[in-house]
Structure 1
Amino acid sequence: MRFPLVMSLAALTLAGCASTPNSPSYTLSSSKTASDYAHCVLPKWQKEASGTTLSETQGHYKIVASSKVAADDIMEIYKASPGSKIFVYHRVPLSSTFGRNTLETAARDCL
């Protein structure tokens, strides 16, 4: 009886860690290629969050700014015609309530 309850709670906990919001915090477009845009944003995000990483697949870049006190911020950059399409997910709902977020500023600076 106790084992199924523990397993259910563990599964729910892990599912919560893997979930992403359905809609981005904001969407941007750039005339730069996805590669050029990603390599422009990466050092700016690394300056703000030292644990920032870049992963790349064909036509898609993902930048993750890890945080020790909040959920990760994620940027996904896709090839578009022309340029690129950018989706940013801020995991802290109040992150931009008190003025422009520094990660958002960096994202807009590279457009």
Structure 2
Amino acid sequence: MRMFLSALLFLTLLTGCASVLDQPTVALATDKSPEEFAGCVMPKLEAQALNPSLSQGQRHYRISLTSAVAADKVIDAYKASVGSKVFVYERTVLAAEFEQAARDCV
């Protein structure tokens, strides 16, 4: 029974690591389009020796930093009626450079 509970706890924790957070850490608004915003943030993250990946949808851009298990940090920039709405999702508490790159480009 103890082994079963340990395995269940491990799987529960692992599932939490594999999913993107539901609530953004930070929500921002900018006059830039999602494309312009992503073009500003990507070089800032690359200059900090981070390895961001960029994906594009019809109305949004997603910049993510992944670990071996999950996407730990995500910036979503969605097209708004004026400019963009930006949402930053972070798993780690000590991730100031990631959030700061988003704030610098607003």
The verdict on a shared fold, with TM-score over 0.5 as the criterion, is yes
Q: Offset of 1:108 from its aligned partner?
A: 1.1
Superposition pairs of residues 92-111 of structure 1, within 5 angstroms: 92=92, 94-95=93-94, 101-111=96-106
Structure 1: 5+ residue runs without aligned partners? Answer: none
Match of residue 40 from structure 2: 40
Match of residue 18 from structure 2: 18
TM-score when scaled to structure 1? 0.74
Q: What is the number of residues matched between the two proteins?
A: 99
Q: Is the 8 A contact 1:44 1:106 kept in 2?
A: yes
Match of residue 88 from structure 1: 88
Structure 2: 5+ residue runs without aligned partners? Answer: none
The sequence identity of aligned pairs, in percent, is: 42
In structure 2, relative to structure 1, the CA distance for the partners of 1:71 and 1:63 (3 Å cut) is closer
Task: Output the CA distance in 2 between the equivalents of 1:48 and 1:107.
Answer: 13
TM-score when scaled to structure 2? 0.77
In structure 2, relative to structure 1, the CA distance for the partners of 1:49 and 1:73 (3 Å cut) is farther
RMSD across aligned C-alpha pairs, in angstroms? Answer: 2.6
Task: Output the CA distance in 1 between the equivalents of 2:27 and 2:74.
Answer: 12
